[in-house]
Amino acid sequence: APTVLRAQSPVLLRMNLVVSNQDPSFPMWQDFGKRIEEAAEGTLKVEVYPTETLGKTNDMIEAVSRGAPILQDSDPTHLYNYKPDFAAMMAPYLVKKPEDIGTLWNSDLVRGWEEEVQAQGIRVLTMTYFGTRHLLSNRQVEKRTDTQGLKIRNAPTKMWNEVGRVLGGIITNTAFSEAYTALSQGVADGAESPLSVIYSTKWFETKPYISLTGHLVATTSILMSQKVYDDLPEAAQKALDTVGRGYTAVRQPQIIALEDEYRGKLEEAGLTFNDVDRESFFAAAAETPDHFPEWTPGLYDKINEIIG
């Protein structure tokens, strides 16, 4: 875009994160930005902003599609409007282990989806492991029947409600900022998240049990504007591509170490962990495609084939 009163060189990209600057992943994203700057040889500058400072995620993704020079923190469900199949990456019990994320992202299948969203102005910069989600609640859940009548807090989107359905129980939608209050006052009996989030949000103060449902091996993604990318010098484009693709492998061990650390912290805080008969959830999880008629037929089989 042309500028009236200000010129800009190197090109400044602002990264808009959901997490706060106290979150353990914040310095990791700063490191990601530094890697891009170094690889770009002075053509790019990356600034990292915490807690959706620049705008709410969904609004900023729309702005990105219109050419905003922003690197937006997100997950594959946010691409649902642009290519519904992306949401399957966040379907419960589909992705089995952290390594699957890289395999899937680099497959021909997902590269095809990427091209489709690029045509709509959005470019996927990186996809990497976010953490495995478990259930915090006021009772121990060992199999799916145990969640009956349990009010489980979810974000109000289609895929999160689907996660709630697979877990069983009663879906209770609240905004993230109201979740602590909802848990502490009993509007919700439980909530699901990676261990680090359960810790940093202090949700663990409200309920005694964490059941290791492992229902979602979650992906996090950074999106940018295809238009901004096209206007960049070649060195910058190359830097974004190589650092972005390579980052999947960099982040994964960091997050796994973090999960161990937070399990320790939560146990120290007095929470009781229990294992879960995950297979009792599989039948419900297999029904997920029925609730997403907009997905390409046979999507689950293809994904299962790719991740083996």
Partner 1 sequence: MTLLSFSPVILLFSLFALRVPIAVSLLMATAFYFGMVNTFMPKETMIQTMVASMESFPYLAIPFFTCAGVVFNYAGITQRLMNLASLLFGHLRGGMAQVNVALSAMMGGLSGSANADAAMQTKMIVPEMVRLGYDKAFSTVVTAASSCITPIIPPGIILILYALVADVSVASMFMAGFLPGLLLCVVLMVTVAIISRRRGYAPSHERRASLREIATQLGKSIWALFLPFGIIMGLRFGVFTPTEAGAVAVVYAIFVGAVIYRELKWRHVGAIIEESVVATAGVMFIICAANAFSTYLTWEGIPQAFSDFLLVSIHDPIIFLLVVNVLLLFIGFFFEGGSAIILMTPLLLPVATQIGIDPVHFGIVMAVNLTIAGFTPPVGTMMFITISIAKVRLEDYVRHAWPFFIALVAALLLLTMIPTISMLLPRVFL
Partner 2 sequence: MTYSRPLSVRTIAHKAELYVAGLFFLIMLAVVIANVFLRYFFRGGLLFTEELAYIGFTWSVFAAVAWLYRTRMLISVDIFFGLLPPRLQRGLSILVNLTLFGANLWFCWLSWTLAAGGFVRKTPVLEVPYFWINLAPMVSFGLMAIYSMAHLIRDLKGGRYGANAQEPAELSEGSSL
Residues in 37-56 at the binding interface with partner 1, rule: CB under 8 A: 49, 51, 53-56
DSSP string covering 79-131:
GTTT-GGGGGGGSTTTS-STHHHHHHHTSHHHHHHHHHHHTTTEEEEEEEEEE
Considering the rule CB under 8 A, would residue 7 count as an interface residue with partner 1?
A: no
Considering the rule CB under 8 A, would residue 205 count as an interface residue with partner 1?
A: no
b/e map 27-62, b = 16+ CB within 10 Å: ebbbebbebbbebbeebbbbebbbebebbebeebbb
Report in angstroms how near the CB of residue 64 gets to partner 2 at its nearest: 12
Residues in 171-210 at the binding interface with partner 2, rule: CB under 8 A: 171-173
Per-residue CA distances from 128 to 61, 155, 253 (Å): 18, 21, 11
Considering the rule CB under 8 A, would residue 1 count as an interface residue with partner 1?
A: yes
Instruction: Indicate the DSSP class of residue 173.
Output: E
Nearer to partner 2, 51 or 173 (CB): 173
Nearer to partner 1, 166 or 188 (CB): 188
Considering the rule CB under 8 A, would residue 63 count as an interface residue with partner 1?
A: yes
Nearer to partner 1, 53 or 274 (CB): 53
Nearer to partner 1, 92 or 164 (CB): 164
Considering the rule CB under 8 A, would residue 184 count as an interface residue with partner 1?
A: yes
Report in angstroms how near the CB of residue 191 gets to partner 2 at its nearest: 16
Q: Which two tokens stand for residue 154?
A: 């979810």
Phi-psi region of 236 (alpha: psi -120 to 50; beta: other; left: phi over 0): alpha
Q: Given the rule CB under 8 A, which residues bind partner 1? A: 1-6, 8, 49, 51, 53-56, 59, 62-63, 66-69, 174-175, 177-178, 180-182, 184-187
